[in-house]
Amino acid sequence: MRVIAIDGPAGAGKSTVGRALAERLGLRYLDTGAMYRAVACAALRRGVDPGNADAVADMLADVDIEVGDGRVTIDGADATAEIRGRAVTQAVTPVAANPQVRAVLRARQRAWAASHGGGVIEGRDIGSVVFPDAELKLFLTASPRVRAERRVAEVGGDVEEVAAAIAHRDASDAGRHDGPMVEASGAVVVDTTGLGIDQVLAVIESLLERT
């Protein structure tokens, strides 16, 4: 398999870069963050408390989630826009910290890669836990202000409120016991502050040429 792992915090450009890189390399693209958001969304739809780890894990065994090609479905119903809404954004933190959920979704991520011959896969623990032997491991980052502004441009909202929410999510992602957000061993840090997509892709392509 050819796996390019992209990790990093919200607003660093992972999704934009990941999709464009996958297209250039002729690989499939997987947004693992969308998988966790889909689980949170499914919990809300079913009236399950996102903070109840066992209840969410039990629900996950009975829910059909499909993530790919820019579309997300839950039990066959489209949820592409819904998973980016405020309610899901608020609910996803405890879901993403749930070890039982993480174990199931990691297995699904590995199965997805095996079925597609690899891919450009982005998230928080892809290079550190899911695919530690990836061909290239990247950790994308950007200044907190730029990250907040990018998120507002995508989904709207107040920059200060979004910045606070991102800071809270960063702390949760970095501090959780299972699969914390870290720079994976051997990962290359790419600061996307002030860089356009083509500039970031040029940096990554130069790194691939060296592997």
Say how far apart CA 40 and CA 87 lie, in whole Å: 9
Q: What pLDDT does 165 receive? A: 84
Two structure tokens written together for 108: 């699904």
pLDDT digits (tens, 9 = 90+) for 10-32: 888 899 999 999 999 999 999 99
Q: What pLDDT does 129 receive? A: 95
CATH of residue 41: 3.40.50.300
Q: What pLDDT does 9 receive? A: 87
Say how far apart CA 129 and CA 41 lie, in whole Å: 24
Mean local confidence (pLDDT), 122-139: 95
Backbone angles phi, psi at 86, to 5 degrees: -65, -40
Which conformational region is residue 2 in: left (phi greater than 0), alpha (psi within -120 to 50 degrees), or beta?
Answer: beta
pLDDT at 175 over 80: no
- Residue 123 identity (one-letter amino acid): G
Two structure tokens written together for 9: 């915090």
DSSP summary character for residue 15: H
What domain count does the chain have? 1
88, with CB counted inside 10 A (0-12, 13-18, 19+), is: buried
Mean local confidence (pLDDT), 34-60: 97
pLDDT digits (tens, 9 = 90+) for 87-122: 998 899 999 999 999 999 999 999 999 999 999 999
Two structure tokens written together for 6: 């992209």
- Domain of 154, in residue numbers: 2-210
To the nearest 10°, report the CA torsion of 120, 90, 169, 179. Answer: -60
- Residue 70 identity (one-letter amino acid): G
Q: What pLDDT does 122 receive? A: 95
